[in-house]
Amino acid sequence: MAEPWATWGIDLHLEPTGPGLRRGLTGALREAVRSGRLTPGTRLPSSRALAADLGIARNTVADAYADLVAEGWLTARQGSGTRVATVAPARQPGTVPPAGTAVHAPARARGRPAYDLRPGSPDLASFPRAEWLRAARRALATAPYQALDYGDPRGRPELRAALAGYLSRARGVRADPERIVVCAGFAHALRLLGTVLRARGARTVAVESYGLDVHRDLLADAGLATTPLPFDALGTDPAGLLGADAVLLTPAHQFPMGVPLHRDRRAAVLDRARRTGALVLEDDYDGEFRYDRQPVGALQGLDPDRVAYLGTASKSLAPGLRLAWAVLPPDLAGEVAAAKGGVDTCGALDQLTLAEFLTSGAYDRHVRAARLRYRRRRDALVAAVAARAPQARVTGIAAGLHVLLRLPPGSEQSVVQAANWRGLALHGLSRYRNPAARLEPPDALVVGYGTPPDHAWSGALDALCATLPG
């Protein structure tokens, strides 16, 4: 995912740098007009203000505005600024921006795509609001008043104790509360770890050939270079780990390929890491969701002093909670907590509520119900694609909230575009390829079947099948 930028009520995902920036901005603005999210007559911010908003050069914005004036989407008049043209060329309501720009959640309410099958978020309409409030009430009723004070940077002791029990039981993590640091989401945990590793002298982190650019960017922000590891039928090959100070992996469910790391490779990763002294960063983003067999236990359980385990409530509950957890070798736990700046950065009330949610069994009940719901969606997706788009092939189905949908060669870009014109937001696999990796990704879609609310699911599936080559 690229950086989400919020500007005058419209949130844009733009590649923050590079030659694609002007093109991306122009395309995003054009689509905002085309789709009706920016209504005719709307006055745009000055190029100076928008450039400041986006943290980019003013000329880039001015150029994008000029392009769109030339194309007839915008008008520019002395004294009245730049406005959306009242007769815009060929507007098509219900369309969504092309791949590379993506409407962010708050904007969806106004001019959102009809359907969204991009990966990354769970079904937010199924967030257990009533159960969460009950847990909040119980947590607030019993918490000592000191729990509302400045807190331990590792996070509330109640939550760390609850997580230690849960992670040990459900994911085979060797956790004790002293090893756990609560963070404001996975990105926060990765940012803290990157800072600490860099301060220890680390220079390079090996990453997967497929993954999220924001994760590589976070490591780069911390001063760490990333280098891709080869990927084949067994998953990521750690042979190239030599020379890296750490390796970031999704062993239970590779994102976005959807496969678990082969058991031989699991052993090889730990073996290499031990020999080279590298730290393994285990991103267990959706470890709760496995359908056809027992979950793959966390790599951390095999070598807790060599592996930093990273989990999150973003897939099992909601990203908006901004709660994640790192289970760390003891020497790292103190340093990562200190990197938070000496005090906790996560709200005590949400932490106490999640602790109560975990210990009362509400979390297990919620995950079981969600697992059943997502499994039904997955089954429906596999059956519908088999029946209606036999040229496509679904893989990576055993776990998680997304699948890989293999397409006939050369068709990925046109399928994504056709879907967008139908009002279906989709991501192709190519956007998740590490540009530094030496591999040619197959044509495929990364279909996030967890994203739509229940009422939109069958419509989204229909739109998908109608878009696929028959």
11, 71, 303, 462: residue in contact with a copy of itself (rule CB under 8 A)? 11
127, 131, 360, 393: residue in contact with a copy of itself (rule CB under 8 A)? 127
Instruction: Select 33 or 218, whichever has its Cβ closest to a copy of itself.
Output: 218
Instruction: Select 125 or 242, whichever has its Cβ closest to a copy of itself.
Output: 125
117, 170, 184, 299: residue in contact with a copy of itself (rule CB under 8 A)? 184
CB of 166 to a copy of itself, least distance (A): 19
Q: Which residues between 322 and 361 bind a copy of itself (CB under 8 A)?
A: 322-323, 330-335, 337-338, 341-350
Dist. CA 94–CA 35, nearest whole Å: 6
Asked if residue 185 binds a copy of itself (CB under 8 A), the reply is yes
Residues 6+ apart with CB under 8 A from 399: 252, 253, 258, 260, 286, 289, 290, 291, 295
Asked if residue 6 binds a copy of itself (CB under 8 A), the reply is yes
Q: Which residues between 435 and 464 bind a copy of itself (CB under 8 A)?
A: 453
- The pair of three-digit structure tokens given for residue 343, joined into one six-digit string: 């005090």
Q: Which residues between 235 and 294 bind a copy of itself (CB under 8 A)?
A: none
Asked if residue 413 binds a copy of itself (CB under 8 A), the reply is no
Asked if residue 15 binds a copy of itself (CB under 8 A), the reply is no
CB of 134 to a copy of itself, least distance (A): 10
154, 290, 378, 431: residue in contact with a copy of itself (rule CB under 8 A)? 154
Stretch that binds a copy of itself, among 47-55, 293-301, 372-380, 389-397 (CB under 8 A): 47-55
Asked if residue 151 binds a copy of itself (CB under 8 A), the reply is yes
Stretch that binds a copy of itself, among 180-188, 269-277, 303-311, 420-428 (CB under 8 A): 180-188
Asked if residue 427 binds a copy of itself (CB under 8 A), the reply is no
Stretch that binds a copy of itself, among 138-146, 164-172, 247-255, 385-393 (CB under 8 A): 138-146
Stretch that binds a copy of itself, among 73-81, 88-96, 101-109, 379-387 (CB under 8 A): 101-109
63, 71, 152, 303: residue in contact with a copy of itself (rule CB under 8 A)? 152
38, 164, 207, 218: residue in contact with a copy of itself (rule CB under 8 A)? 218
Asked if residue 83 binds a copy of itself (CB under 8 A), the reply is no
Q: Which residue has the tokens 């947590």?
A: 139
Asked if residue 187 binds a copy of itself (CB under 8 A), the reply is yes
